[in-house]
Amino acid sequence: MRRWWWVAWTVACIGVGILAGTLRLANWQHGTEAGGMVLAAAVFLLALGWWRDVRRNRQIANAAKRRLKIVAIGGGTGLSVVLRGLKEFQVDLTAVVTVADDGGSSGRLRSDFSMPPPGDIRNCLVALADTEPLLERLLQFRFESGEGLAGHSFGNLFLAAMTHIMGDFESAIRETSRVLAVRGRVLPAVKEDVKLQAILADGRVVEGESKIPEAGSQIKKIQLVPEDLKPLPEVLQAIQEADGIVIGPGSLYTSVLPNLLIPGMVEAIQSSKALKLYICNVMTQPGETDELSASSHVETIYHHTKPGLFDYVLVNSANFPEEALHQYREQNSFPVQPDIERLHQLRVRVIARNFVHYATYARHDSRLIAEQIMSLLGYERESAGEW
């Protein structure tokens, strides 16, 4: 009970006691006894209320001292955007990153050095790094010429060199995190070599993350090769201890689902007491999510995993400037429709508002997303009585 309720109840009891004494119920002696008993009860309730209030204040202080633990799962640009916003808050962050990329610089290094693709890992490390802007530019610098160097980013080459020096990819990420003063942890979803395989609506099977969007047919199902994979123990522990689990935004089939298809990952998320949030993409992606609404994104995830995985879905409901729409229409990309009623039918709570930052591209605003996540986590903790 809140303190105001105890005070109100105590005042009422005192009033009844005074009234009982004044009216001398039955006779003076009995009236006095009745009034005294009620007054004693009132004093007891007042003391109890004060004790509960002191205990609650201590709980609030202890909860404030304990930093929220947040696990963000995904890949690509979307995950790094969320991390940039969340690192500005006093939270313990763990990024779980897909390692199915096989295109561009990451694909070449993966093939040449038999290592996991470093691109998405690099983006997350840079997003969480507490470094000078010049160092960030250096890590994101991409060579435009040079035999064997053209197309490679310096950060990818740095991670490849660290992997060779440290002997394994996880150690390379850990030591790179120290060099960059990363605020949090960045973990690959798995340590094994994994590839994406898509079964298309026309019956074809396409293998390779970079080839799937170019297949020219609707994706019916996505799966991992090999299937007998195991998530890192650190990933499972982080999920188990999390206060909040954030999934997305990112390419639905090639960034979000690859993490959730790892055996044991969905079960770990469902068994966690954390608040589960899905951040839906702002725009459709040609060859991957053409014409999919927000609810279709959620239904696709549920079809591949299990229904009821999310507590909240965050969708953008703001309109875009016409110049932005024109630019995206030329690329066969359109705003993801926030069909809120259908989302409610899927038994998720929906937060629909302006989440977009538009410069050259329409992307989630890292500050707005982070503030919304922190607000939801604070609300849920208070509702649960932790605050």
From residue 231, alpha-carbon distances to 36, 117, 192, 211, 281 in Å are 66, 16, 9, 25, 25
Give the model's pLDDT for residue 217: 87
* Helix H or strand E segment including 177: helix 169-179
- Pair of tokens at residue 304: 């591949």
Query: What is the token pair recorded at 387?
Result: 């605050």
Q: Using CA of residue 329, residue 334, residue 249, residue 314, what is the dihedral sign? A: positive
Residue closest to 80 by CA, chosen among 374, 286, 371, 370 = 370
Count of other CB atoms within 10 angstroms of residue 158: 19
pLDDT score, position 151:
87
22 CB neighbour count, 10 Å cutoff: 10
Q: For position 20, what pLDDT does the model report?
A: 54
- At residue 322, the pLDDT reads 84
The number of residues making up the chain comes to 387
The pTM of the whole model exceeds 0.85: no
| Residue 218 Cα to chain centre, angstroms | 27
Range 122-146 burial, b when 16+ CB lie within 10 A, else e: bbbbbbbbebeeeeeeebeeeeeee
Cα dihedral 18, 24, 25, 30, rounded to 10, equals: 100
Tell me the residue ranges of DSSP E strands in 326-373: 349-353, 356-358, 362-364
Average pLDDT of each block of 10 consecutive residues along the chain (387 residues)? 51 55 50 53 53 54 70 92 94 95 87 88 92 81 86 91 92 92 94 91 92 89 92 96 96 95 96 97 93 96 96 94 86 94 96 85 89 91 63
What is the side-by-side order of every strand in the sheet holding 91-97? Answer: 185-188, 91-97, 68-74, 244-247, 275-279, 312-316, 349-353
Q: How far apart, in whole angstroms, are the C-alpha atoms of residue 237 and residue 208?
A: 29
Residue pair 218/153 in contact (Cβ under 8 Å)? The answer is: no
- Which residue carries 């304990």 as its tokens? 66
Q: By the 8 A CB rule, do 229 and 138 touch?
A: no
Q: Please give the Cα distance from 333 to 319 (Å, whole number).
A: 15
